[in-house]
Amino acid sequence: MSTEKSSIDLTKNNTYRSVKDKVFLWTVIVISIITISPIVMIIGKLVWKGFRQINFSFFTAVTPSTFEAMTAVANGEIIPGGIVNGITGTLLLVLMASLIAIPVGIIIGLFLYENPGKRYADLIRNLSDILQGVPSIVLGLIAYLWVVKNITQGYSALAGSVALAIMMLPLIIRSTEETMKMIPGTLKEAGLALGVPYYKVIIKVLIPSGISGLSTGVLLAISRILGETAPLMLTTLGNPMINWDVTAPTSAVPLLIWDFYNDPNMVDLIWSSSLFLMGFVLTLNIISKRISAKSKA
């Protein structure tokens, strides 16, 4: 009798646990769907509304005038022109910001790795963490006071790249330090034991060994600055034409999106430009994930 009762109780417990597992599973599924649905809706709307303006001239022509856009909208036609001035400006700004931030960030990250317990290294590490949380508009204001007012005496690509470089630094510094920590210390010791100078051990042993992690940090830093608008409004101002002069105002895709937003005739170009920018950032993030996965393998 007691054996039968124990068997019934065990069956009830198993049934109860099975019901709880299913309820928990479906709760997680429903919450996950609710969480990702806004993202899916945003991406879907971007693709639906932005794909109409994507054509060859979108990548080869400069932004149209308000009159050209108004005429096209009135006739129900695709807005002529494109965002090539924004694309070239973005590439120029990212290239210059990378040239400034990558060497400085890697050097600082190596210093933090080599001096983990020193007070000065801890101070730099804390400042880097604080800098990562500073609003981008504040960094734009700093670049305005440093470069626009005192160096170029006007808006320029150089000022914008300085603001973006400051934003890149914390990510590169922290990724460099963490990457170096994952490299076996025996590699460094072996190089020094062979009589190799200290700087050559860093350049020819540590950095090549951690190149995957360093590349991932750099790509993530670039992805972060690609969509920034506020600091560029205070430093580069914008330019309706293609510009390669670092001392002159230049455009960028985020700046063009802001300009299109302020012009009711350019609404269609907002979606197309946003779609292009999202695709660019997504591509960089996928590349960084692939590099990170290969380094772990």
Collect all residues with Cβ–Cβ distance below 8 Å to 286 and sequence separation of at least 6: none
Helix (H, G, I), strand (E, B) or coil at 196: coil
- The C-alpha torsion from 38 through 43 and 46 to 51, rounded to 10°, is -150
What burial class does residue 256 get, using C-beta atoms within 10 Å of its C-beta: 0-12 exposed, 13-18 middle, 19+ buried?
buried
What integer pLDDT is reported at residue 7 of this predicted model?
A: 61
- What gap in Å lies between CA 116 and CA 126, rounded to an integer? 12
What burial class does residue 295 get, using C-beta atoms within 10 Å of its C-beta: 0-12 exposed, 13-18 middle, 19+ buried?
middle
- Condensed to tens digits (0 to 9), the pLDDT of residues 50-91 reads 888 888 999 999 999 889 988 988 888 888 889 999 999 999
Helix (H, G, I), strand (E, B) or coil at 237: strand
The structure tokens listed for 292 are: 């990170």
- What gap in Å lies between CA 68 and CA 64, rounded to an integer? 6
CA 210 to chain centre: 21
Whether 162 and 100 have beta carbons less than 8 Å apart is answered as yes
- What gap in Å lies between CA 99 and CA 10, rounded to an integer? 67
Collect the ranges in the chain with pLDDT lower than 70: 1-14, 294-297
What integer pLDDT is reported at residue 195 of this predicted model?
A: 85
Instruction: Read off the pTM.
Output: 0.86
- What gap in Å lies between CA 249 and CA 284, rounded to an integer? 26
What integer pLDDT is reported at residue 296 of this predicted model?
A: 59
- What gap in Å lies between CA 257 and CA 250, rounded to an integer? 14
- What gap in Å lies between CA 270 and CA 28, rounded to an integer? 35
Whether 82 and 57 have beta carbons less than 8 Å apart is answered as yes
Find tokens 């994952």 and name the residue.
182
CA 297 to chain centre: 24
What integer pLDDT is reported at residue 160 of this predicted model?
A: 94
